[in-house]
A and B are shown apart, each in its own frame.
Chain A
Amino acid sequence: MQFWATVLLDGLTYASYLFIVSLGLTIIFGVMKILNVAHGSFYAWGAYTAAFAIGFITDNELSEALFLPAILISAILVGVVLGYIIERFILRKMYNQDIHLIVLATFGVFLIFEDLIIITFGVDPYLPYQPAMMLGWVDIVGLNRGVYQLTLILLASIVAFACWYGLTKTKWGKLLQSVIYDREISVAMGIDVTKVYVVTFIGGAILGALGGAYVAPTTSVSPGFAIDLVVLSFAVVVIGGMGSIPGALIGSLIVGILRAFAVHQAPILELFVVFAVMAIVLIIRPEGLFAPPKPRKI
């Protein structure tokens, strides 16, 4: 009982931040058909900017109430700036290219931004633990867990709800859905696809940065910590179905809980289970568990 509660709680926390990051990735893939390796850069930059902001607030002894806004603002700032730069100056020139070339181009961007981080923030790890300290700890069914980690689950729920509402109830969401479903018809119907692409990419980038910024207080932010995350969020997106939003939710739950189970039961299998599941899903159902059925085009 105790064991399962631990697995569930840790798994949920882990799944929450995977979900936030992967959601950005899957939306970008769904709309633009781009597998964005540079998503890891958004995550890393979000984390570093938030860590820097938190450090700034603590050093100048400003109010602790500023922590949350600082995290959100750094995520939005990073998302808008990096997202716009990458979309406008690199991806826009490549939309008609081979999909593999685009993946490689984003890989190049990822490498560049990894080093820009080292140049900007240095190689020493940042430990922005203050927001987590501020909220303290709490006992849930006999498990001592930080409140901050639990708010992550709340944040993920809010993001999920906002995303569902935005996609199904607003005009922009419906435009997006139509572009996801069939790009050519949408263009023919008069949707400004370039604009949709920019907005989508920036939105996805903000989500990626938000994941990083919100997680920063719970870990040590050091160079190279996005490398594992890129491929983990790929696994989430592939398991759920590339481009599927409910897929990202289910995928991150599966990966999060499996990983938590492995960590507590057989640490040697921690990464193995995730990618084994990814391979199995690809073998049995290549389009992913929740991908929308694809109409066959001739």
Chain B
Amino acid sequence: MFTGIFKDTSVRILITFMIVLCVLSSLVLPDWMQNNFMYGLSRGLAILGLMLLWRTNLVSFGHALYYGFGAYAVALCQKYFGITDILLRFAIAVIAAGILGFCLGFILRKYREIFFAMLSLAFSMVLYGLLAKAEFLGSTDGMSISPSTLLGMELTRQYLFYLITFFVICAAISIQAYLRSTLGHLTTAIQDNEIRVEYLGYSVQKAIHIKYVMSACLAGGAGGLMAASLGQVDPDSMVNWNVSGELVFITIMSGWGNILAPFIGAIIFEFIRTYAFEWAPQAWAAIVGGTLLAIIFFFPGGIWSVIEKVFNYGKKKNVK
């Protein structure tokens, strides 16, 4: 699965992009931008997961379930076991969300279209309903998270950023490896015609289940990293339905052409939000909503389609 993965163009572009981002943000750009990159990259993991589902024409309007679950897993492990190690935090968030996704996947893999969206929404709102009312979890105020450590050492924000970039690169490479495998190629086949895939001898439900667990893991990891970098978890900004809506929005904005697209989309979203908040604090949501409409109407392929056009990236392969 991983053989020759570093010769893959997408992977090379991804690694180059991340290194350039790291160098630029530590040498040239101001500190607040580094924060935006950090949030964008963390959230980008969840978007990557949604992009996987989107490729099979499944849109989850409840992915905040895993996002929030990962974040709360990190918060709870700190509260009860005193775990602040960033590696452990990331692992806990990914595994917790993965297990939840594995269980729910047995039900969700049978659903398509609007029913899939609605059932995932219902599951995420069940978690929201519990978290928002549970006093020992801080109800709507949430919980605060202490700064992360690495193998017992204090971790500055600079190094946290490098680590997040590292996690992101690892995750994105694994996803690219998956997309290149037979299982990954099934993705678009299922979107085209499920019955034919079944006739070819593959189990559609199993393929969707695997994909679903992967996207749950990614969203959980995103939540865990987000919790670590924000230093705060609360149900309204982590689990509520409009968070899921936001995640789907960034997915559409990014486009699904490449593994790098979700991260670019998520970073751009962070910047839109920061600038909108600065220029028009009363109307930042309206600016975000307006962007969403503009994307749907004018760039249905998302930002990646624009990038592709600008760099003529897709064309080179076809010319012989």
Contact = CB atoms under 8 A, between A and B. Distances in A.
Interface of A: 35, 37, 90, 93-94, 98-101, 103-105, 107-112, 114-116, 118-119, 123, 227, 230-231, 234-235, 238, 242, 267-276, 278-279, 282-283, 286
Contacts of B167: none
Q: Main SS of chain B's interface residues?
A: helix
Given A231-B121, A238-B118, A107 B249 contact: yes
Interface of B: 57, 59, 61, 107, 111, 113-115, 117-119, 121-123, 125-126, 128-130, 132-135, 240-242, 245, 248-249, 252, 282-286, 288-293, 296-297, 300
Contact of A111 (B59, B252, B288): B288
A104 B283 contact: no
B249 A104 contact: yes
A77 B120 CA distance: 35
Given A115-B283, A270-B133, 13 more contacts: A104-B292, A107-B289, A108-B290, A108-B296, A111-B285, A114-B286, A115-B285, A118-B282, A238-B118, A242-B114, A271-B130, A275-B128, A278-B125
Nearest to A101: B296
B119 A279 contact: yes
B122 A235 contact: yes
B118 A282 contact: yes
Contacts of A109: 289, 293
B125 A119 contact: no
Contacts of B286: 111-112, 114-116
A286 B296 contact: no
A110 B111 CA distance: 27
Q: Which A-B residue pairs are the 7 nearest by beta carbons?
A: A271-B129, A111-B289, A108-B292, A115-B286, A272-B129, A275-B125, A279-B122
B297 A93 contact: yes
Given A90-B293, A270-B133, A276 B126 contact: yes
A102 B252 CA distance: 12
A101 B296 CA distance: 7
Given A108-B293, A238-B122, A100 B117 contact: yes
25 contacts: A90-B293, A94-B296, A100-B248, A107-B245, A107-B249, A108-B289, A109-B289, A110-B289, A111-B286, A111-B288, A227-B240, A227-B241, A231-B121, A234-B118, A238-B122, A242-B114, A271-B125, A271-B132, A272-B129, A272-B130, A274-B129, A275-B125, A275-B128, A279-B122, A282-B111
Given A101-B296, A267-B133, A278-B125, A112 B289 contact: yes
A279 B292 contact: no
B138 to A, nearest CB: 13
Contacts of B113: 99
Nearest to A93: B297
B119 A282 contact: yes
B45 to A, nearest CB: 21
B298 to A, nearest CB: 11
Given A111-B285, A235-B122, A100 B59 contact: yes
A238 B115 CA distance: 9
Contact of A283 (B107, B125, B248): B107
A20 to B, nearest CB: 21
Contact of A279 (B123, B249, B289): B123
Contacts of A98: 57
Contacts of A110: 289
B115 A282 contact: yes
